[in-house]
Structure 1
Amino acid sequence: MTTDNHRGHGRNVSEDYLADRAKFIRLETLRLTRIAGAGHYSSTFSAAELFSALYYAHLRFDPSNPKWPDRDRFILSKGHAAIGLYPVLADLGFYEASKLDDFTRLGSSFGDHPDMKKIPGIDFSSGSLGHGLSVALGIALAGRMQGRSYRTYCMMGDGELNEGQIWEAAMAAGHFKLRGLVGIVDRNQLSIDGPTEKVMSVEPLADRFASFGWDVKRIDGHDLKVILETLDGLAPAGEGKPQMIIADTIKGRGVRHMELSLDWHVGNLVGADYEEAFEEISQGLKPFVKENA
């Protein structure tokens, strides 16, 4: 069982270890996509360091007791990135890793989006985007009413910020002063329809959340040192401003030809393309260089 200090559920983990786990998340995403025949590569790759820091170094939970009342809650509002979260939960002992070998197959508990009724460690069954922050708001309110100290985290994609329900929840969170609510925006710059600023601009994003009464921090979402410092600096649950982390990321990070490409929101690598992507991820992140820069 984890301690109350919100660091590593008893583990003292290094940045190198977390970088290795982010690599593991990307490699497992490749493997599970090959099993399914299609998968969300780029939306998961942008969140790999965030998943790693949250689950291996920060969130409070107990894999042997997934419904522990004082666990932190994590709402994956961008549920199509669940393909990267499933291997993490298996790695941490919520279930046997072999259960993922029939990912998306008939009879499997593991679908493209997570099902909280079938998968230990999942706190919200996502599907249609835009609902997560409202659900997290309700869970955070429940924690306050019950006198519990857990935090409620909600990871959103920047494309789903087009949904009006997100902003209703943002307004309510500020009104109720839910300091135990932590929003995380994976600001990877692209939605399935194109660049977010062309489809429906979300900037100035920090100012918008601040205007709803949130304490906002904007960080490099691939810099593990910065991610850990930001998570460690979060205020405990209680009355005060809800907390928002805007994580600037690269959609498709880790495979050069996928980075900031509209072609890999959903896809399937086969043959030599699969092997090349596997090798590139295995070698680790390289400096990002925007094409035609």
Structure 2
Amino acid sequence: MTNKPLTVFLANPRGFCAGVERAIAIVERALEQYGAPVYVRHEIVHNRFVVESLEAKGAVFVEELKEVPEGVPVIFSAHGVPKEVPEEAERRELFYLDATCPLVSKVHREAERHERTGRQILLIGHAGHPEVIGTMGQVPEGAILLVEDTEAAHTIQVDDPDNLAYITQTTLSVDDTIEIIAVLKRRFPAIHGPKKEDICYATTNRQEAVKEIARRCDALLVVGAPNSSNSQRLVEVARREGCQRAILVQRAADIDWDALAGIERLGITAGASAPEVLVEEVVTACREHFDVTVENVSGVVEDVIFKLPKELTDKVAIA
């Protein structure tokens, strides 16, 4: 029996962003330069395939700094960490490398600047996400209030409506965030915002690419991890654009083929922490179930590159 035809629309851009590529390169270069083991506080990026690949090379992932022994390098994840983490590392005289995405660091600096000028800060983001924990940890406790959705934006109480600023997590839904900001600006006309929006270029570009294909698809697969904020947002964006069968899968083995029965057009994209090899794996799996024609849908061409820390380019030795 011949397989039914299936047109696969590959979203562009998709997968790794510059911040993720930099974070992974930091771990790999540290392993080359200092040898295994190299410890990493929290998953370097939210993708099990990436984490397990680095573990196989000698990286050891831990949740807290207290799990890191003396005399080995430790790396902080791309999501950023509260100030207390590098401070503790310095107290213990640990050699550490900071893989925080530069676009997350930009938000950290914004928070510090607003706090120095005495503004109360509203952070638009998701409670418990490592990036939010890291950003809130840049300033004294209580200086930042978290706004998770439009309902919170309508109800949040502030000390001084004329002395406010907002910042955002970098991996949010662009459309949801616009709605939340609109509510805050209506309630607090004097609120200060960033000169350039905090949502990162890669998050924005991947969401736009999904919008481009979602209405043409019977179903859409987002390759990414359940704890990846930007991957979860891609599912939401696809559904908002009319593709209700938008499904998050970590890799090909997770695909529920019954849920894809009868489809003729399938969109595929990947979150910013998902490697292209997993997209290729999903396309290969599709070929086993369908007669596949792949159409690459053109989008923004990304050319952003972030430099590695000077410790890895200047061959700094561990004391």
Which structure features the higher share of strand residues?
Answer: 2
TM-score norm. by structure 2 comes to 0.31
TM-score, with structure 1 as normaliser: 0.33
- Greater length-normalized contact order (CA 8 Å, ≥ 6 residues apart): 2
Q: Which has the larger radius of gyration?
A: 2
